[in-house]
Amino acid sequence: MAVTLTSKRYQVKDVGDAIEFCFAQGWTDGLPVVPPTPERVGAMLEAARLAPQQQVAFITNRVVSITAEKVAINAVMAGCKPEYMAVVVAAVEGIGDPAWSYHGPGTSTGGAAVLMIVNGPIARELDINCGDNLFGPGWRANLTIGRALRLVMRNVCGSRPGLLDRGTLGHPGKVSYVIAENEAESPWTPLHVERGFRPEQSTVTVMAAESPHQCYNQLSNTPEGVLTTVADAMRLGGSAGRQPQYAVIIAGEHMRTIAQGGWGKKEIRQFLFEHTQNPIAHLRRTNRLPGAVQPGDETKMRPLVASAEDFLVVAAGGRAGPFAAHIPGWGGSRSSLAVTKEVKR
**Confidence (pLDDT) at 326:** 97
Question: Can you give 2-55 as a three-state secondary structure string?
Answer: CCCCCCCCCCCCCHHHHHHHHHHHCCCCCCCCCCCCHHHHHHHHHHHCCCCCCE
pLDDT tens across 115-153, in order? 999 999 999 999 999 999 999 999 999 999 999 999 999
What digits encode the pLDDT tens for the residues 252-278? Answer: 999 999 999 999 999 999 999 999 999
* Predicted local confidence at residue 61, as pLDDT: 86
The predicted model gives 244-259 an average pLDDT of: 97
Compute how many other C-beta atoms are within 10 angstroms of the C-beta atom of residue 299.
9
Question: Do residues 314 and 302 touch, judged by C-beta distance below 8 A?
Answer: no
Beta bridge partners of 278: 302
Give the Cβ contact number of residue 261 at 10 Å. 15
Q: Are 119 and 202 in contact (CB under 8 A)?
A: yes
User: In the chain, what are the domains?
Assistant: 9-210 (no CATH), 211-328 (3.30.2320)
Q: Provide the CA 15 distance to its chain's centre, in angstroms.
A: 32
Distances in whole angstroms, Cα of residue 124 to Cα of each of 73, 127, 249, 315: 25, 5, 19, 15
Average pLDDT over the chain, rounded to an integer: 95
35-91 residue pLDDT tens: 999 999 999 999 999 999 999 999 998 899 999 999 999 999 999 999 999 999 999
Q: How far is CA 20 from the centre of its chain?
A: 30
Alpha helices in the chain (DSSP H): 15-25, 38-48, 68-78, 85-95, 103-107, 121-125, 140-155, 191-194, 223-237, 252-260, 265-275, 280-285
pLDDT of 237 reads 76
What local confidence, expressed as pLDDT, does residue 219 receive? 96
pLDDT digits (tens, 9 = 90+) for 274-328: 999 999 999 999 998 999 999 999 999 999 999 999 999 999 999 999 999 999 9
Instruction: Say what the pLDDT of residue 335 is.
Output: 87
Q: Which residues contact 140 (CB under 8 A, 6 or more apart)?
A: 79, 81, 127
272-281: burial string, b at 16+ Cβ within 10 Å, e else: bbebbebbbb
Confidence (pLDDT) at 239? 64
